[in-house]
Amino acid sequence: MGFTPTLMSFLRSNYPLFLKPLALVAITLAATSLFTSFVQRQTPRRLPDRPMAAAARSFVLWLHGLGDSGPANEPIRTLFTSPEFKHTKWSFPSAPHAPVSCNYGAVMPSWFDIYEIPVSAESPKDEKGLLKAVQNVHAMIDKEVAAGISPENIFICGFSQGGALTLASVLLYPKTLGGGAVFSGWVPFNSSIIECISPEARKTPILWSHGMADRTVLFGAGQAGPPFLEQAGMSCEFKAYPDLVHSITNEELKSLEAWIKTRLKSSS
């Protein structure tokens, strides 16, 4: 599950450790090479130079949920098979370990504190923790911009707590980004934050996906997102998934792939 800290009014919520969004199994195959040496009088051939890796043209940052880790989510990228992602750089950072109130103070990976579960639209918010996490995300974005990636080809995505952090990070970034994708997340601050959103940030599109059977981050918490964004003058594409609990599906991820593809700038 994932939850997020923000600026003015941030969230405090959510469940214990059963947040892992996906059960991902990585299979590593080891290949053995046999080399044969020939003793001959001949000049050794020079091996051809290896081609240099192409510079990244786009960047996708994935923020995991409460109690999860970045590496556990890395298999997500294997679903993005379209040629448009050939030169995309991916990053799956892990949240720092911290005590979490909704889990009776247990220490676990968490972007910010969560005070109750299930998370509702009215749940208390960890403003201080959220803002610190947002600053860290902005530092990751700035690093890629400095490396030459256009902000409009940078996409921030997150599940649960990571989804809430995604929303906060996108809204508070001073430039227009390619987009922000929120999966089973919520609005981690009050409407007073709207006055802190820059005109450029208001142009960043948002994709919001939420399961209607979610009992960890209630569907109502997700439904509160579009009206909030509309009030801020931002566009939001909201997708409701019947019978989906607090989880993320391949269907949602393939939808994300198509959504990003339509927004990638070929000039990058």
Q: How many other CB atoms are there within 10 angstroms of residue 132's CB atom?
A: 14
| pLDDT single digits (tens) 217-262 | 999 999 999 999 999 999 999 999 999 999 999 999 999 999 999 9
CB count in 10 Å sphere of residue 122: 11
The most confident of 118-122, 125-129, 264-268, by mean pLDDT? 118-122
The CB density around residue 193, as the number of other CB atoms within 10 Å, is: 21
Task: Please tell me the predicted confidence (pLDDT) of residue 65.
Answer: 98
Neighbours of 105 (CB within 10 A): 10
Mean pLDDT, rounded, for 136-143: 98
- Is the pLDDT assigned to residue 212 strictly greater than 90? yes
The catalytic site residues sit at 160, 214, 246
pLDDT band at 47 (very low <50, low <70, confident <90, very high): very low
Strands 58-63 and 154-159: parallel
Q: Assess contact for 76 and 98: CB atoms under 8 A.
A: no
Contact at 8 Å (CB) between 2 and 168?
A: no
Query: In angstroms, rounded to a whole number, what is the distance separating the alpha carbons of residues 192 and 197?
Result: 10
Window from 32-41, 145-154, 225-234 with minimum mean pLDDT: 32-41
At residue 199, does pLDDT exceed 70?
yes
